[in-house]
Structure 1
């Protein structure tokens, strides 16, 4: 998956719990940055709701990651549990070069093996950006491993894909009891299968305790929030209560997609999905038409079996590029985009994993 960090790499901000942040104040705040004070002030206003997690919640994992779209651009946030709460590292992505796969791979601890621990990052504005090839190298090392783990969760993936096909304009909450303490494989599989097919902005968070309209499109909750009036745009998915396999055209389309995904090598399914990218142009109110067309096209497609050797597909930035929606979910609500632009550009060749 090609990502473009420019010449200087990915600028970042480190948040720690301390007595005096770069912007003043105690508690969780920015302590190191690759940007100027003025830029930091602007980014902090956009990020403050996303960098902190309820680390005291018994469902809180050791690390969690979020991909958010803000008024200043996108950001990838990796949050790490510490005794008194959490610290966080933020990768700034004003050009929205980083898609969900790039964000999800940052959940993997080995990716950060050569980077200093957040507790050891020096205070100040001299924080070096991450190298331009940092994420590309991480994808080379981990993409196919995460894809294999996604294939192992075929039933969960089928239910989730069907729900998104059925309600393409909604935001989604998953329960930790359904997706497990590590939802990354399920989210990876959703990204693999739906980026080409559904006109949504694929933001996510692997751990939240609230799911209001300001949160990303896909969130994982330890339990249902106790809100008297939940946001109508959010679909709280419960796996055991979803329509059964084959119960409607969306369930049938999801079953076919996941079957191809689990039985076919990535080069084959990627080529197939690329050929269906015109379906991404269909607005949300034509969801049944999209699912019927998926069934028709998959019904006449002959799969190639999964190959034994691990393969890593580098998806170009254009393949993960999403329609230019307003960045802030709170302002966007349940949108029906007018004429979203399908991804363009050829896929890069499949390369053997090192």
Structure 2
């Protein structure tokens, strides 16, 4: 017996052909244009007529063609990826609603783009150095940087590598980069002013870390407002926390030991305010009858505190969105070092507002 060899029938061959990924050449043939024209359309070049662009886009839709991202990056020198770097401890990132709100804002701003988001969390120097190498080796088109501490040179190092960067908050050094921030000074002043107008006269504060601009600025707002009101506001009325609930409780305990008759406290974050509420209840203080409490952020936890927390609302999600919008402008301008075409770095400051609830 001899084996019979038969060619695949026409329907089977057609199915096999359909399963193959459409190529750039197939798009060009269907659109009746050159391969180079298809490449220019895929890479958003302006050197294509409207008619040719329409024909190519129609062919892409009909064939289901998906551009090869790696090949496209060789032409555009873009990775279509941005990095969100958070310089913070893991327990802080996952416990503080601020970071979740920020991420929602960033994701919302990216939904209308083709950009991918890479999350990078760093703590010590080894992680910091790895992140800088990753960014500097061309793996991303730009960087969003959140929660920078002290005189860390990560922001300026990224900018010097020619990678566009936008920070949440300002640098504490003399270097300047693009930044988006809330009105921390004004918000803190508004919080203290509310306490003064409701009759409070011994107002302490739980300040944020002084190696971060947000901590520095909110303490500045407190200090300016108590001085304007002629109230005591020396160093022993200030206890520094770390933006955590536990840190707020410990700071409140120190303040009560130093000033047992204090009648109000401004905490530089809602989490620290929640810790302050715990310490006050444990000490037998009634809130707000004995001690009024104001926080900062207006996180999702604030309305459910016991009692519901009066706080300063900052638009955290919008802050994330504005950071993305500014970064995309810099990327499209082809600008590194935090500014474009010789322009000064931008410093966007978003407004804050007082939200009054039962705690003050």
TM-score normalised according to structure 1 size:
0.24
* Structure showing greater relative contact order (alpha-carbon pairs closer than 8 Å, 6 or more residues apart): 1
TM-score normalised according to structure 2 size:
0.23
Higher share of residues assigned helix: 2
Name which one, 1 or 2, has greater alpha-carbon Rg: 2
